[in-house]
Structure 1
Amino acid sequence: MILILVSSPILAEQLDFRKTESKSHYNYRYEWLDVNGEKQQLSFSIARTVSNNKFRHFKALSPTRMTKYVKRSLLMAINTLNPRHGKVDLIPQANGVSYSVSGSEQQWVDDTIQMLNERSNESISEFLEKEYYIRFSPFGYTDDKNSISYKPDHKRFISESGDSLKPIIDQLHKKFPKARPKVVATFLLSWVQSIPYDTIESRAINNGAGFLPPLRLIDSNRGDCDSKVTLMASILGQMFSNLRMAIVYVPQHALIGINTPHVQEDYKIDVDGLDYILSEPVGPAIIKWAEISDTSKRYIESDNYKIEILH
């Protein structure tokens, strides 16, 4: 008889999640098993006024709302034109606003088209900033290299979420006094992996659906890879202000990269001459610090990834 052993990933196990409420705070308690099978726990309280912050209204990007915003901006620009010089007609389209310009002088037509193009691009940027999104060129799942989609502005969420996470950071300082980033990051990695996960859809089509800002991830006790990376980076960035970090995007997935001392076997990539150690916060598989999945390795080693430097 031949015995064939098939290995399967060990899944992160969240033993307990509790949320209780008081008049002024939400109280959270997490308990889970880490990669060594040891029980870990983290408890903290977040003020209601902090929990109900500006990110509570964050939602998937709406092409319809963006089109309306751009159209309104263009109409305001058109109203400043002298009708004696020519005419502008807005043309509704499924994915944006187009326009036709006619006039007796070609120079006026050319100048008007340039002005409307600039105003259209400016209004898109204004809308994206207001909604916490940025332009993002998709890769790995489209043949159109010039297409543009949008994703949540993870870097901005990280930079603006720090103060709201202070109760968690205070508990980590108590648990790991004077600890180096790797120690805290390893603990955070196992915690975040144990939080139930949502799969991410293609960034080219989902318009941010499923992404949860850090406090909403904590409150709902679930999150996709982008959400978990953002939470982990937000905490580490506040605890270690000089720590260099990056988000590494592969098709339909995201990893965290941290520039920290390492050993030879740690999985790393070079970014501008610095080694960034890669880890997989998403779960549910328990993947050790400085290790990544075989799928992620294939993308990285085939140069099918993008990097966003955080700080």
Structure 2
Amino acid sequence: MKRLLLCFIMISGCLSLSAQAEQLRFERNGGNYNYLWKDSQNNTQALSFSLLNYPHKLTKFTQYRPEQAQQYVLTKLKPSLRKIDPKQAKVSFNTQHGQLSYQLQGNDQAFIQEISEKLSKEVEQHYQDYLTKHYFIEKQAADGAMGIMPDHNRLAQESAEYLFSWLNNSLNQLDEQAKQRQVSNYLLSFVQSIPYSELRSRDRLRGAGFLTPIQVIRNNVGDCDSKTTLLASALKTLYPRLDVAIVYVPNHALLAVSMAPQAGDETVTIKGKQYLLLEPTGPALFELGKVAKESAQYIHSGLYTYQQMDWVPPEFKREK
């Protein structure tokens, strides 16, 4: 029987201990946004762009609740349960202690076994449907425990096409010959300058611990995995051949990209390949290859997991 009591993996730590990002101005007028901030070189950067036509589903995120998942599964099971002859088998459910379990009673053990196997498969399918519908995945945390977390990969993919204005106008702020590393540092400093928040609501449920990429821009706030997902979506869209992965260490998330490291850069190995590390969280203004001390310690100790961006980005064309 599928156990519906997996903790929600909270990834909201801020490990940054360096020069602090400074957002000098944020203005939103409808779907138009204006920013002024200081980058890692203490240069003032100005940027304007639009964020329009995104679907409503990318403007909300609700924390995983086992009780809600249980109710969803039970509702979906009703048609199958109605087909079971009560004279052959009786089914009872238990939802105590945050877990969903069931018991089958009947005289024909072969029939009971058959019904049990069918119910188990159906429960699993409905549970996975619930996770997919609400943008959750089951994943092993850095400490080895299994839990539920936002599907950062899918949210980055589905948000990508709505970030074109931000990406296009960012490129137009740079020299036409700007290299991949320069562009990435520019986007990194922009994301780092967005105010940091652990995103915990009073009831610790609605939106706790994560905002979608669209929400990060709209609300001008984000925690580590929210900001990292936004930057992952941006870099994968700009550079389709770039391998991008979100790296999870205890209570924190950062980004890894398959760019060539420079001397002194922090890297991580994923499937035998070296990736350059980035710290999108802020407020520390770490450039590419520089990460918080705690992040580096976890990486060096092997205390990390990752999720690769495995999608083909929408076609992006720069417009001047």
TM-score (structure 1 length as normaliser):
0.87
Structure 2: gaps (5+ residues): 1-16, 311-320
Counterpart of 2:95 in 1: which secondary structure? strand
Show CA shifts across 1:55-88 (max 9, x none).
1233222322211101112332222223332211
Distance apart, 1:242 and its partner CA: 1.1
**Bigger relative contact order (CA 8 A; separation at least 6):** 2
Counterpart of 2:280 in 1: which secondary structure? coil
Show CA shifts across 1:220-274 (max 9, x none).
1100000101111111111111111000000110000010122231111122232
Match of 1:185 in 2: 184
Alignment of 1:116-195 (within 5 A): 116-140=119-143, 145=144, 148-176=146-174, 177-195=176-194
Show CA shifts across 1:134-174 (max 9, x none).
1122343xxxx5x5321110000111111111111221232
Q: Percent identity?
A: 33
1:61 aligns to 2:70 (yes or no): no
Q: Which residue identity does 1:35 align to in structure 2?
A: S
Distance apart, 1:178 and its partner CA: 4.8
Match of 2:234 in 1: 235
2:39, 2:181 → 1: CA distance?
15
Match of 2:34 in 1: 29
Match of 2:279 in 1: 280
| Larger CA deviation: 231-240 vs 61-70 | 61-70
Distance apart, 1:288 and its partner CA: 2.2
Q: Which residue identity does 1:235 align to in structure 2?
A: A
1:41 aligns to 2:50 (yes or no): no
1:303, 1:95 → 2: CA distance?
32
Distance apart, 1:42 and its partner CA: 1.5
1:84, 1:240 → 2: CA distance?
62
Counterpart of 1:94 in 2: which secondary structure? helix
Match of 1:15 in 2: 24
Q: Does structure 1 conserve the Cα–Cα contact (< 8 Å) formed by 2:62 and 2:206? A: no
Counterpart of 2:248 in 1: which secondary structure? strand
Q: Which residue identity does 2:243 align to in structure 1?
A: R
After superposition, the Cα gap between the structure-2 partners of 1:125 and 1:104, relative to the gap in structure 1 and judged at 3 Å, is same
Show CA shifts across 1:19-55 (max 9, x none).
123xxxx2111111111111112210223x33x5321
Counterpart of 1:303 in 2: which secondary structure? coil
Q: Which residue identity does 2:285 align to in structure 1?
A: I
Q: Which residue identity does 1:31 align to in structure 2?
A: L
Q: Does structure 2 conserve the Cα–Cα contact (< 8 Å) formed by 1:268 and 1:276? A: yes
2:56, 2:168 → 1: CA distance?
20
1:240, 1:263 → 2: CA distance?
19
RMSD: 2.0
1:179, 1:273 → 2: CA distance?
29
1:265, 1:253 → 2: CA distance?
22
1:90, 1:46 → 2: CA distance?
46
After superposition, the Cα gap between the structure-2 partners of 1:158 and 1:105, relative to the gap in structure 1 and judged at 3 Å, is same
Match of 1:4 in 2: none
After superposition, the Cα gap between the structure-2 partners of 1:11 and 1:173, relative to the gap in structure 1 and judged at 3 Å, is closer
1:152, 1:97 → 2: CA distance?
22
Match of 1:266 in 2: 265
Distance apart, 1:116 and its partner CA: 1.5
1:272, 1:56 → 2: CA distance?
33
Show CA shifts across 1:179-236 (max 9, x none).
33222111111111111111377xxx97961311111111111000001011111111
Match of 1:70 in 2: 73
Distance apart, 1:100 and its partner CA: 0.6
Counterpart of 2:51 in 1: which secondary structure? strand
Counterpart of 2:276 in 1: which secondary structure? strand
2:148, 2:189 → 1: CA distance?
30
Alignment of 1:62-101 (within 5 A): 62-101=65-104
- Structure 1 runs (4+) greater than 4 angstroms displaced: 205-208
Q: Which residue identity does 2:126 align to in structure 1?
A: S
Structure 1: gaps (5+ residues): 1-7
